[in-house]
Structure 1
Amino acid sequence: MHFPDSSPRASLYYDYQIYPFRRPPELNGDTLQHKVVIIGAGPVGLVTALDLARYGIPSVLIEADVQVSQGSRAIVFTRRSMEILQQVGVTDRMLEKVLPWRCGNSFYRGERVFRMEAPYDEDDRFQPMNNLQQQYLEEYLVDQVLAEPLIDLRWGTKVIAIDNQPDGVQLTLDTPEGEYQLHSDWLVAADGAKSTIRGMLGPRMEGDSYTGNFVIADIKINIDLPTERLAYFDPEWNPGNTILMHREPEGIWRLDYQLPEGETAEEALAPESLNKRIQAQLDMIGVDAPWEMDWCSVYSARAMTLPDYLHDRVLFTGDAAHMLPIFGVRGANTGWQDCHNMAWKLAFAIKGWAPEHLLASYSQERVTAAREIIDEASKSTRFMTPPDRGFRLLRDATLSLSLTQPFVRPLFHWRTSRAHDYLDSVLNCMRDDNAEFSAGPVKGAPLQNIRLGDDDYLFDRLGASIYLLYFSDQAELPMALTLLKDAVTRSGVPFEVVQISRKPLASQSHQVIHDPIGHMHQRYDASEGTSYLVRPDQHVSARWKQFDNGDLLTAMKRLINLS
């Protein structure tokens, strides 16, 4: 029988809660057929369950452990991630604790040789980067899940066998009270880089593993430095290697430092090794303050992806689908884009609003995204951890030249995680005016979040639905649009029209955004009749300079019918 450790993890700043195992109905002999089972109650699995619940889809969420993850792990959450997390209801709690930031700094031989400032403007609700330890985020997500009646979160439950068939999945699960069978129409593998489901089903990842290993260490210390990314190259105490530092809430600083080739994890995590190296880094930056170790671990950089995220009735997402270097904060941030893309498509297929082969577009879009991210991340990884002598010579030459030659300094750019644009998606409409726009989100890109008032933004108005953003000052919608909207709504498909008007208008049939000075019109390059068709994950499917009902109908069919 599976007996997870029920002793709360030790921490200098976080109180770990034990979530008890509760006997499921299957252990009493009930045979139930579930719509969706999700394996892994980490950040990606929790968000997947919450996102599905927005569409009325129930799920069973399986977690082998009985407490949230240990240590800071994922700590930097991007603006796009915050927009996704807003949809599942946790950003208000996050904003009470996160440390936002915009700038990253690279140092060599005591000099700052590069400073990157992420874009930010008046329309941005969230800062480009937000630091928060992963266990806090998981706590907020777990609380949200426990308040959602459509989600059955089962702690202390381990997958020991899987039978994946074209019409469903059967799992064998082990618990403190014995084994039982679980039946589901669909299974989502969100069980991380060491995915049990991936191991059982056997799909192999493509890509590279890098030889460099890093120690992650969370220390409690008072350092009077701003909340910015700090990267130190080739320090005297760790020659040829790299050190990263991040400020975290609760007086915690995160240090990531590269290990010499050949050193084992056991050697690196020995107390004398940790103390010596961390103190050397603090001495180098002139910090003379007492500190305590909270948590530490070792990781290696990988840039790999499954070639297909859909295997019969199993969908892979997050680190179970791909393993990305942390340089550029890509792990959880990429995983949330995965599950936000997948959730609406899985929900539409289950509800019968679209054919099941809509899910093939999840794999197509997100595998393409992963491969592009891997290409970008590999450049950063080769700079941070040169894989061979040739790359090291180039990196060292760049470091040396950076002290006197400004033209090489942009090579320090760490290519941070970004919102992916599905420019070649099969869901994009072929008949639109995308090329005629001079501004606004392109076809395949996520919407721009526009400030509508003091504390009111465009994404506050969007939910689990397909949307048509319709720019018009007319008091009534075109009759053809009204008829189409009513017909789609009667079919059950969630579809809403949001009218953006320079004039104050009222409507009982649809939402109206008042844009008195034309700010949103300008940002979206919109005039009377301009329209944007938007997917439930906020990505643009098509855009037209002038509304045309036939083109909209064609785009809708391509988006959810694919026939």
Structure 2
Amino acid sequence: MRPDGRGELDSLYFDYPHFAPPERPAQEARAPVVIVGAGPVGMVAALTLARHGVRSVVLEQKETFNDGSRAICVSRSSYHILERLGAVGPFLKKALGWTRGRSFYRGQQILEFDMPDGPEQKYRPMYNLQQQYIEAFLFEAVAASDLIEVRWQSEVTELRDLVEGVALTVRDPNGSYVIETDWLLAADGARSAIRRMRGLRLKGENYEGRYVIADVRMVHDYPTIRRALFDPACRPGGTVLIHRQPDDIWRIDYQLAEGEDATEAASEASVRSSVAAVLEEIGHAGDWDLEWWSVYSANTLLLDDYRDGRIFFIGDSAHIVPIFGVRGLNNGIADGFNIGWKLAWVLTRRAGAGLLDSYSHERRGATLDVFANATKSTRFMTPPSHGWRLTRDAALSLALTRPSAGQLANPRQMTPYTYADSPATLRDSAGMTAGPVPGAMLAEVALGEGFLSDRLWEGFTLLVFGESGDLPERADLTVVQLPATGAVAQAYGAGEGTGYLIRPDLHVAVRWPVVSAEKVDATLDTLLARKGGRA
């Protein structure tokens, strides 16, 4: 919502483009992949497919990007993905990196935490950037690709299964048509039309806590950190979150009180009054302007399976996670990257169809891990019962005099999920006692020039420590030789002859105390040509 007198897309800081409906070809060619939804997750999937040589058509019902700040926190692991897709440049120029958070209880600071960071890391733990910019920067990369076609103002109205694919009926301002595809990626959000057409339902838990998101423009000199206010004078009994964003935009999330009418709370007068009280609480006496606002509630919901035949669900179409801990967008970006490289390798015959069986296993596991952590944060931020509130407030009161108790207010920021028991990773080798385990994301290390991640190829990469003459020569693999001593070897628990096989999504597939060409060949054949998978 926007203030009276301003249009739906009349922003104080962002110029929304208008995308015309597509000029369709006279004869509709079958597409290898159709992606429904041109939000961040859908565009990441399209860019990943293109990076591996696969064409896609992206269908988007709207005529421009999403409005409001919505998802704003982009994690370090997502920046690594954006780099692999050739899209990270504008993000680095515009976004605000941060490492620190502070929590306050009744006006007194009870916690200051720092997320892991240091010179060995290429990117900061977290960056703040409004979703409009996230989508605009991704679309720049999409528009530059000859392998991606985006069709705006294009609504999917019907689905039909084919023997080896899906037929979609699409309606745009010029009429309706049918497009066939080998594979369909549903990235059409929390209210997914594709999910509804398939008769699928998200399952899980709904929380009672409701929040108002308000974007405010003001000149305010507080640093770029995450602020959480518990039981502040401006919202007695509630919680307020504050994030700085580019262009002097500040994101303020404040909890509605039990029994507070959401419709009334979402009125412009009420939002302005509530925001003014928050700004007074944090000591801002200067001018400010209201940009945009919305109301949301916290949920932990997901599908039983992220695959339905030739359809894969990614992002919010597959799962809804609470915002606490900034996991929603980052979880979705990882979805799009995960299915993107796997589907591309199957379509280009570098892998068998069995590789696709690992997608739902890995990404649903990641969502459940998010739920386990986000539930703790959500119950702390929005206690679901009187008993939970008493417990939370007792912990906060204790933190006033005992700093260690303040750790209970730590939002547990996201770390990449480890695919420990995935079909696309192998059991760990005996004798490895340090370093990233199979399924974990690559451990970044600073080199003399650049970083370890700079040395990785877009396909599989074999890290070999020390000298070894017994190395495989394959088109789907690049070999990077590293010293058996020094910072990288120490980070990986490596010695002479140690090998790590890194997947295209930067996760460890397997590691060996001593690597050989025979071991690598057998492993890749197992991972990429697994029999018995669903076609």
Coordinate RMSD, CA, aligned: 1.6
Structure 1: gaps of 5 or more residues:
1-6, 503-516
Deviation at 1:206, TM superposition (A): 2.1
Match of 2:477 among 495, 500, 503: 495
Letter paired with 1:277: S
Matched, 1:358 2:386: no
What residue number does 2:186 align with? 189
> Is contact 2:192-2:317 (8 Å) kept?
yes
Deviation at 1:424, TM superposition (A): 1.1
Deviation at 1:8, TM superposition (A): 7.8
> Is contact 1:48-1:340 (8 Å) kept?
yes
What residue number does 1:560 align with? 528
> Is contact 2:369-2:417 (8 Å) kept?
no
> Is contact 2:457-2:478 (8 Å) kept?
no
Letter paired with 1:446: M
Q: Take 1:523 and 1:323, find their aligned partners in 2: how far apart are those partners?
A: 35
Match of 1:460 among 446, 454, 465: 454
What residue number does 1:509 align with? none
Name the CA shift for 1:321/1:542 in 2 (closer, same or farther; >3 Å).
same
Matched, 1:469 2:451: no
Structure 2: gaps of 5 or more residues:
1-6
> Is contact 1:79-1:129 (8 Å) kept?
yes
Matched, 1:18 2:18: yes
What residue number does 2:76 align with? 79
Name the CA shift for 1:166/1:103 in 2 (closer, same or farther; >3 Å).
farther
Deviations 1:403-432 (A, max 9, x none): 1223422111111111111111122223x5
Match of 1:154 among 139, 145, 151: 151
Deviations 1:209-264 (A, max 9, x none): 11111111110011111100000011123121100000000011100001123434
What TM-score comes out, normalization by structure 2 length?
0.95
> Is contact 1:164-1:314 (8 Å) kept?
no
> Is contact 1:428-1:555 (8 Å) kept?
no
Q: Take 2:109 and 2:336, find their aligned partners in 1: how far apart are those partners?
A: 38
Q: Take 2:134 and 2:319, find their aligned partners in 1: how far apart are those partners?
A: 21
Q: Take 1:115 and 1:464, find their aligned partners in 2: how far apart are those partners?
A: 38
Alignment of 1:251-400 (within 5 A): 251-400=248-397
> Is contact 1:8-1:17 (8 Å) kept?
no
SS in 1 for 2:94: coil
What residue number does 1:537 align with? 505
SS in 2 for 1:453: coil
Identity among equivalent pairs (%): 44
What residue number does 2:115 align with? 118
> Is contact 2:105-2:229 (8 Å) kept?
yes
Deviation at 1:460, TM superposition (A): 2.2
Letter paired with 1:15: D
Deviations 1:142-179 (A, max 9, x none): 11111100001111111111113452111111101111
Matched, 1:222 2:219: yes
Matched, 1:548 2:530: no
SS in 2 for 1:113: strand
Deviations 1:344-398 (A, max 9, x none): 1111111222221221110011111111110110110011011111211111211
Q: Take 1:31 and 1:285, find their aligned partners in 2: how far apart are those partners?
A: 57
What TM-score comes out, normalization by structure 1 length?
0.90
Matched, 1:135 2:132: yes
> Is contact 2:438-2:509 (8 Å) kept?
yes
What residue number does 1:32 align with? 29
Deviation at 1:527, TM superposition (A): 2.0
SS in 2 for 1:122: coil
What residue number does 1:59 align with? 56
Q: Take 1:331 and 1:278, find their aligned partners in 2: how far apart are those partners?
A: 25
> Is contact 1:87-1:463 (8 Å) kept?
no
> Is contact 2:353-2:530 (8 Å) kept?
no
Q: Take 2:41 and 2:375, find their aligned partners in 1: how far apart are those partners?
A: 23
Letter paired with 2:52: Y
Deviation at 1:461, TM superposition (A): 2.6
Q: Take 1:164 and 1:104, find their aligned partners in 2: how far apart are those partners?
A: 49
What residue number does 1:514 align with? none
Return 553-562 or 122-131, whichever deviates more.
553-562
Q: Take 2:329 and 2:248, find their aligned partners in 1: how far apart are those partners?
A: 23
Q: Take 1:521 and 1:441, find their aligned partners in 2: how far apart are those partners?
A: 12
Deviation at 1:520, TM superposition (A): 1.4
Runs ≥4 residues deviating over 3 A: 262-265
Deviations 1:127-155 (A, max 9, x none): 00111111111111111111100001111
Count residues with an aligned counterpart.
525
Q: Take 1:349 and 1:279, find their aligned partners in 2: how far apart are those partners?
A: 55
Q: Take 1:407 and 1:226, find their aligned partners in 2: how far apart are those partners?
A: 24
Letter paired with 1:472: G
Letter paired with 1:357: G
> Is contact 1:166-1:312 (8 Å) kept?
no
Deviation at 1:195, TM superposition (A): 0.9
SS in 1 for 2:52: coil
Deviation at 1:269, TM superposition (A): 1.9
Matched, 1:437 2:422: no
Matched, 1:201 2:169: no
Q: Take 1:154 and 1:449, find their aligned partners in 2: how far apart are those partners?
A: 38
Deviation at 1:181, TM superposition (A): 0.6
Deviations 1:498-539 (A, max 9, x none): 12247xxxxxxxxxxxxxx72212222222211001111111
Deviations 1:300-345 (A, max 9, x none): 1011111210100000011111000000001110011111111111
> Is contact 1:62-1:154 (8 Å) kept?
yes
Match of 1:250 among 244, 247, 252: 247
